[in-house]
Structure 1
Amino acid sequence: MAKISVLVAVYNTAPFLPQCLDSLLSQTLEDMEVICIDDASTDNSLDVLHRYAGRDARVRVIALDENRGQAHARNVGLSCATGDYITFVDSDDWLSSDALEQVCAAFCQEGVDCVLFRVLYVYAGGRQKAYPMPCFETMSGEEAFRKSLTWEIHGCYAVRGPIHKAYPYDDSQRAYSDDNTTRIHYYHSRRVACCDGAYYYRQRPASVTHRASVRRFDFLLANERMRRQLIEIGASDEILCCYETERWLNLVGGYLFYYLHRRELSAADRRKGRKIMRHVWQTVNLKQVQSSLKRKFGYMPLHCSWLLFRLQEELYFLLRGFAGRNKETV
């Protein structure tokens, strides 16, 4: 049994894999396993993985026959992870040499079930920027859950093995739904800590979160799945109200994405995006949304008419200064 298991889901990232794997195999903590899951890559990623596995017995390679997304790939790796603690590193990211040692040391604190890395965004040309997370020693799992809703804390972390095994990755959507798993892990933790071990998070314009794609609306569907999960685990009314308010804010944010980028989407994708947004508009429990927010122009539900709600959003973003950008008949 390893001290910590590192899950690395891989899809067509051959140019970045050596930096990722070298950072893992040069860790000051040697008691670990690196489980690499190739999600049916079409480049030479699998060859790179096999080369590293041949050099270091701590690397295990699993090759999937069908591409099904990062969350599914991580779950395959999770099923055979043996570590006391489990974490992930995206295949184009990397860790500081002491990161895993720092994480494991933080777990020694009383009641700590999750430990966050220190995250540094890395941009083209090598420029780095720290994730703007307030410093803290530990916080309750419920507090971490709340802060994760608005990204006051990030989702690069390690968790005790039994918690992760009980709550594997949510693969209901190919993108964004893994955030749900992070929040469930925080919610079920006694205490959440942070450490100084650095996670270097590469920012690539080609990634799903950095381009105009209909898959951006998956975020709203993942939000809906998160709400169902909270109900299933018996979350309090206070937590549900907090999350429904966040879902409503995300709907307005989703409409802003649509307003700005619709000309970059196909007609079919625009229809799909509108269908998803209308579904969210119809299903958010407005009794659980913050009252003051519902009285604010741009956020008023206007449940008498979807067309009227859309007109409100169009005017709201026009008045906010997006005049002349990607106009389309409502």
Structure 2
Amino acid sequence: MSKISVLVAVYNTEKYLRQCLDSLLGQTLDDIEIICVDDASTDSSPDILREYIAADNRIKLITLKENRGQAHARNQALKISTGECIAFLDSDDYLASDALEQIVGTFDRHPTTDAVLFKVINIFPDANETPYPMPEFEQMNGYDAFVDSLTWKIHGVYAVRRSIHLKFPYDETARAFSDDNTTRLHYLNSRHVRLSRGIYYYRQHPQSVTHSISLRRFDYLLANESMKRQLLQLNSSSEILDIYENVRWLNLVDLYMFYYLHRRHFSLDARRQALFRLRHTRLTIETSRLRPSLRHKFGYRVMPSWPLFRLQEELYFFLRSLVGRNRESSQGR
């Protein structure tokens, strides 16, 4: 058994893969297990992986015949992992040389700690480096970490004890977003969550799903629904369910804004699909759990029917666009 297993899902990242693997092999902690999963890459990534496997026996390789997304790839790696704790590293990201030593040291010094966060540095295409905007903390309980992760007050780049990760593998409901659910369940089921000094360099891509105009953005609502279902299966408290329904409601309005702003880029069929997902989410949210201040706020108000909700959103975002244009006009004078 290794001190830590690192799961690396690989799909067409030949440009960055060597830096990723070099950062793992150059760790100050030797007792690591690196499990790479080639998710049916079509570039030279498989050749690079084979080259590194031949050079270091700490690397294991799983090759998938069909591309099924990061969550599925990580789950395949999780099944054969042996580490006392589990972390992930995206194949276009990299670690500081002592990052894993910092993570494992935090676990060793604090036996009741079940999840340890990296310090994240965002790397932008212009090579600008910016720390993730997160307040420093030493320790918090799992419930507080869960709540803070809902609004990304704390990020989701971390290592977790093996027992928790095996109980809650990656959610494969939505390819681009449902791994957020796994993070939140890991935090919620941790006794304590801590922040380490180990640095994770997180590469930002403008063309990623979370930054692009794509129908896949609405998969976020599918992921939210899956999270709600899992919380119910775990018999979560009414307080937790209340908190999460408010988050779902805010996400619904945010995604309607995305639809309002970008629908001209979608085909008629794509618009129908987006509206179907928005309407389904609206109908499945337990509005009785929403905060009164949110239920009665224009733009977020609970309306008795889907057509009235749509009318409210159209008017709300139209008025917001007018205010924005007037502000830009006044500033230009």
TM-score, normalised relative to structure 1? 0.96
Q: What residue is the counterpart of 2:329 in the other structure? A: none
Report the Cα distance in structure 2 between the residues aligned to 1:280 and 1:229, rounded to whole angstroms.
Answer: 16
Are residue 222 (structure 1) and residue 212 (structure 2) matched?
no
Q: What residue is the counterpart of 1:40 in the other structure? A: 40
Report the Cα distance in structure 2 between the residues aligned to 1:151 and 1:198, rounded to whole angstroms.
Answer: 18
Give the SS at the match of 1:210.
coil
Q: How does 1:1-330 map to 2 (within 5 A)?
A: 1-108=1-108, 109-303=110-304, 305-321=305-321
Gap regions ≥5 residues in structure 1: 326-330
The amino acid that maps onto 1:87 is A
The CA deviation string for residues 194-242 of structure 1, in whole angstroms up to 9 with x for no partner, is 1111111101122111111111000011001100100111110000000
Give the SS at the match of 1:197.
strand
The amino acid that maps onto 2:311 is L
Report the Cα distance in structure 1 between the residues aligned to 2:20 and 2:268, rounded to whole angstroms.
Answer: 39
The answer on whether the counterparts of 1:113 and 1:160 sit within 8 Å (CA) in structure 2 is yes
The amino acid that maps onto 2:49 is L
Give, in angstroms, the shift of residue 262 of structure 1: 1.2
The amino acid that maps onto 2:29 is L
Give the SS at the match of 2:2.
coil
Report the Cα distance in structure 1 between the residues aligned to 2:198 and 2:280, rounded to whole angstroms.
Answer: 41
Q: Number of residues paired by the alignment?
A: 324
The amino acid that maps onto 2:22 is D
Report the Cα distance in structure 2 between the residues aligned to 1:188 and 1:324, rounded to whole angstroms.
Answer: 43
The CA deviation string for residues 231-269 of structure 1, in whole angstroms up to 9 with x for no partner, is 111110000000000000000001111111112222221
The amino acid that maps onto 1:214 is L
Report the Cα distance in structure 1 between the residues aligned to 2:239 and 2:323, rounded to whole angstroms.
Answer: 38
Give the SS at the match of 1:113.
strand
The answer on whether the counterparts of 1:136 and 1:193 sit within 8 Å (CA) in structure 2 is yes
The answer on whether the counterparts of 1:133 and 1:152 sit within 8 Å (CA) in structure 2 is yes
The CA deviation string for residues 81-100 of structure 1, in whole angstroms up to 9 with x for no partner, is 00001000111111111110
Give the SS at the match of 1:270.
helix
The answer on whether the counterparts of 1:281 and 1:301 sit within 8 Å (CA) in structure 2 is no
Report the Cα distance in structure 1 between the residues aligned to 2:267 and 2:57, rounded to whole angstroms.
Answer: 47
Gap regions ≥5 residues in structure 2: 326-333
Report the Cα distance in structure 2 between the residues aligned to 1:174 and 1:256, rounded to whole angstroms.
Answer: 22
Report the Cα distance in structure 1 between the residues aligned to 2:8 and 2:322, rounded to whole angstroms.
Answer: 40
Report the Cα distance in structure 2 between the residues aligned to 1:221 and 1:19, rounded to whole angstroms.
Answer: 34
Give, in angstroms, the shift of residue 110 of structure 1: 3.6
Give, in angstroms, the shift of residue 323 of structure 1: 7.6
The CA deviation string for residues 284-311 of structure 1, in whole angstroms up to 9 with x for no partner, is 00111111101000001212x3122112
Q: What residue is the counterpart of 2:330 in the other structure? A: none
The CA deviation string for residues 159-199 of structure 1, in whole angstroms up to 9 with x for no partner, is 00111011100001111001100000001100000111111
